[in-house]
Structure 1
Amino acid sequence: MKFRRPQRFRPADSAQQIVGGFLLAGPFVVTEEVWVLAENMSLFHATATICVVAAIGYAALYKADTTRDPDVEREVAGIPIRFISLLCVSFGAVLILALLFDAPDTFLETDQLSADGLLVTFKAVSVGSVFSIVGAATADSIFSK
């Protein structure tokens, strides 16, 4: 049995994820259809979308890239740090761009700080993160060799 050292998660890995996450998040944050879709989604749909985002991210990091083993990476509460970073970058990139571009105020008819506005923004972020996580995971996998 070959002993594998935990892969060191470096700031450069997060930087690569950030570039990929922001690259694919941008077009979906400023698309009216995403905000209309988010307004019509239920909380169940948003939660299911978040689960899909996590599954895509995990699969991209540890199933598509066979050089990585989640069991030997450094962890926090049993979850690989690289995966935690990937999720934070994916959701964070979409949220930051949405707020930076003032998308909630542009696309929502309700006050963006109302409960309804915050909920729709949460759902729109879940939709945009589907694409952001693909970019973040791809950049991480390509450039961390």
Structure 2
Amino acid sequence: MQLRRPRRPPQFRVADSAQQLVGGFLLAGPFVVTEEVWVLASNMHFWQALATVGLVFAIGYAALYAADSSRDPDLEKEVGGIPLRFISLMLVSFGSVTILALLFDAPDTFIEEAETTTRVAAITAKAISVGSIFSVVGAATADSVFAK
């Protein structure tokens, strides 16, 4: 009879964040520079933006832990009771869209000059929430596909 060492859960590493970044930026890019996303964002209500953010969280959690049975969120390192991998995924998902939107100057390009600063910020936040839906899919997929 051979004794086996218990299998340890994969630990979250810096390389995992790098994989998430690649996937997040890859899928976020086309949506940041699409005028339709900005028009959609300008017409969204506040509650729709919040629902979109909730959808990003749900997709991210499901992709990391429901779709990949080898991961157990209870066994991963946590910050405030939240798995570090999930925190990284959310930072990458929203952060990559935000960085690209600002880098490409998308708000000034797609939002009319007559809008107030507050309205521009609100539209930008809504556009980020829309783009993050696609970014989270790319980031979570890259994290799962390249997991060791």
Q: TM-score, normalised by structure 2?
A: 0.92
Q: Which amino acid aligns with 1:57?
A: G
Q: Which runs of 5+ in 1 are unaligned?
A: none
Deviations, residues 34-91 of structure 1 (Å, cap 9, x unaligned): 0000000011000000000000000000000110000100001110000000000000
Q: Distance in 1 between matches of 2:104 and 2:39?
A: 17
Q: Which amino acid aligns with 1:47?
A: L
Corresponding residue of 1:44: 47
Q: 1:128 to 1:10 in 2, by over 3 A?
A: same
Q: 2:75 is paired with a residue of what secondary structure?
A: coil
User: Which of 67, 71, 74 is residue 70 of structure 2 equivalent to?
Assistant: 67
Q: TM-score, normalised by structure 1?
A: 0.94
Q: Which runs of 5+ in 2 are unaligned?
A: none
User: Which of 105, 117, 122 is residue 120 of structure 2 equivalent to?
Assistant: 117
Identity %: 69
Q: 1:73 to 1:121 in 2, by over 3 A?
A: same
Q: Distance in 1 between matches of 2:24 and 2:80?
A: 24
Q: Distance in 1 between matches of 2:128 and 2:31?
A: 9
Q: Distance in 2 between matches of 1:117 and 1:3?
A: 53
Q: Distance in 1 between matches of 2:114 and 2:75?
A: 46
Q: Distance in 2 between matches of 1:70 and 1:136?
A: 17
Q: 1:102 to 1:76 in 2, by over 3 A?
A: same
Q: Which amino acid aligns with 1:9?
A: F
Q: Distance in 2 between matches of 1:80 and 1:112?
A: 39
Would the aligned equivalents of 1:4 and 1:72 in 2 still touch at CA under 8 Å? no
Q: Which amino acid aligns with 1:35?
A: W
Q: Which amino acid aligns with 1:61?
A: L
Corresponding residue of 1:82: 85
Would the aligned equivalents of 2:77 and 2:83 in 1 still touch at CA under 8 Å? yes
